[in-house]
Amino acid sequence: MALLQISEPGMSTAPHEHRLAIGIDLGTTNSLVASVQSGVAKTLQDQEGNTLLPSVVRYLENGDIVVGQDAHDSQLDDIANTISSAKRLLGRGVGDIKTLAGNLPYSFDTSDEHSNVPQIKTIAGNKTAIEVSAEILKSLKKRAEDSLGGELKGAVITVPAYFDDAQRQATKDAARLADLNVYRLLNEPTAAAVAYGLDQRDELNESENERIIAVYDLGGGTFDISILKLNKGVFEVMATGGDSALGGDDFDHLIAEWILEKSESELTHHALVEARRVKEALTDNDEIIASIETSEGDWSGLISRADFDEMVAPLVKKTLMACRRALRDADLEKDQVHDVVMVGGSTRMPIVREKVGDFFEKPPLVDIDPDQVVAIGASIQADVLAGNKPDDEMLLLDVIPLSLGLETYGGLVEKVVSRNTTIPITRGQEFTTFKDNQTAMTIHVLQGERETVEENRSLAKFTLRGIPPMVAGAARIKVTFQVDADGLLNVQAEEEMTGAKSGIEVKPSYGLTDNQIEGMIRASMDNAKEDMEARKLREQLVEADRTLEAIDSAMASDADELLSEDEVQTLLTARSQLIAAKQTAESAATVKAAIKHMEHEADFYVARRMNKNVNEAMAGHSVNEFEK
């Protein structure tokens, strides 16, 4: 008799089988891959023993593609065909090239008017940032397969906290080109929290039910701060913030400027290289000799850590201001934060660790290499999603950076999903028609924090048709927003009586930068009072339109039957006054007063129409019928 092997849902039929899964930190400058082996997460090396893979791709005339250190070393020799920093172009549109291209050393082909994806000119033909990123992912995938000795089941890939729909989708497209099965995309700060949170999870559960973690991520070109809540293995991102134009490169520039000022020479690439060396040396030394070649000969000078700390203090202060804003968004005080996790190579600077410790009033966690911690966290999450830890109930919940909503009548925005809402999430809201016999409705999806349409970002529009003709306000249209674990948005609209449906998957042609997101948030705060006044005014203008629509419809229906000429004139006068109040629109209060006056003047007419409708309904029936 044959025996069937039974396994738990989600588990392998071979309990001893370990599914090979990896975590990838796809970086702007360098990328890494990590995996959990024998219960320990660690980064994987190439054949030369290197952990970091420079995120550089070189295209050769014979069709060969070089990725990593060799490509990086040939940048100066073949700059036109050697692509670096491709991550900055992921999810960007042709229109963004105008602002980005000046900082990139290669050329773009803009001859294709039908393509909104930037095409980089190379000797091997035009390449997109997605294709370039795919080559980096292929290289990491091969490294993992060589190291692990088997076929990969899936990967978790990390992205910056502020990557929007288009940038996340572009990352997934690159992974698909690299033939990688993506379990999910994971915010980089969240991945770092996983690396530390899992190590301490059992200890935390015994002592406390909830723990707050701040993830301070200072990389080469960007800064991110995330506030997370850890509760029984569940990570929830409470708030995020940062500065996309602040990173270790800015610290290098300050040292380079100091060197140039002292040596009285012009800015050169060599000065920046020396500045980076000095910065790194000052991590372990109290002072260091800086030296460069100038047109006047060799120059050298002594720079102390105290000098360095003084010149970079304003930059560190800027990061702490972002930390303060993130705490405010999370509705927390500094003393409520239990742990501070340091991420990014720039957090090795002693002044950064010291000032962050002073700000949060506790020493930051630096146990894991700050360059590797994101990849390690991603690999831990990949191991869980691969089913290698069936008893592990760890969940990861991220947040959306900006509110999502719909345009309503009068140019107002009705927020459906608020900023910093935990994802994945599905949230629905009911809307209705504004005019009688309306059979279609345009759904306009918006992103932002302001109260009016023109002050927010338009994401998409689609039309719901098939609404039954009814009086205004009778239809019930449910609009559902669904944001998945990767931050991608799907919007569906359904008329509940007929079941008519329409929807759209939001994939913007280009994304928002961190600075643009932060600017939108700041603008909403700076203009909060004005925005609320504008909203109140527009709401009253919408109400005025409703009132006018109702009175016009009623008078067209039965004014001749129910009203005398004097009564008609009274109503027309009140109507004219309401229109005048709408046109001048001095304030919400003046429009509201005009509406109240119109309603007061029409009270007798409303009563007569009600009596008329009751009499018509009762015609042919006796009161006794309604008492049964």
Structure tokens at 198: 């899992």
3-state secondary structure of 469: coil
Q: 17 catalytic, yes or no?
A: no
- The C-alpha angle with vertex 318 and arms to 314 and 319, in degrees rounded to 5, equals 125
- The C-alpha angle with vertex 61 and arms to 57 and 65, in degrees rounded to 5, equals 30
CA nearest 481: which of 471, 492, 473?
A: 492
Q: Is 375 exposed, middle or buried (0-12, 13-18, 19+ CB in 10 A)?
A: buried
Peptide bond into 424 cis (omega under 30): yes
d(CA 593, CA 221): 55
Structure tokens at 557: 């229906």
d(CA 90, CA 350): 33
Inter-residue contact 275 to 252 (CB < 8 Å): yes
d(CA 620, CA 615): 10
Inter-residue contact 212 to 229 (CB < 8 Å): yes
Catalytic residue among 188, 243, 371, 455: 188
Q: 501 catalytic, yes or no?
A: no
d(CA 523, CA 520): 5
Inter-residue contact 86 to 72 (CB < 8 Å): no
Residue 30, number of CB atoms within 10 A of its CB: 21
90-106 core/surface letters (b: 16 or more CB in 10 A; e: else): bbbbbebbeeebeebeb
Backbone angles phi, psi at 84, to 5 degrees: -125, 165
Catalytic residue among 217, 252, 371, 539: 217
Please measure the distance between the N-terminal and C-terminal CA atoms of the chain and give it in whole angstroms: 72
Q: Is 419 left (phi over 0), alpha (psi -120 to 50) or beta?
A: beta
3-state secondary structure of 292: strand
3-state secondary structure of 415: strand
Backbone angles phi, psi at 135, to 5 degrees: -65, -40
Inter-residue contact 75 to 56 (CB < 8 Å): yes
CA nearest 512: which of 330, 244, 223?
A: 244
Alpha-carbon dihedral sign for residues 445, 450, 454, 455 = negative
DSSP 58: E
Q: CA torsion, points 289, 290, 292, 295, in degrees to nearest 10?
A: -90
Catalytic residue among 46, 87, 229, 383: 87
CA nearest 106: which of 137, 131, 135, 75?
A: 75
Q: 307 catalytic, yes or no?
A: no
Q: 87 catalytic, yes or no?
A: yes
Residues forming the active site: 25, 87, 188, 217
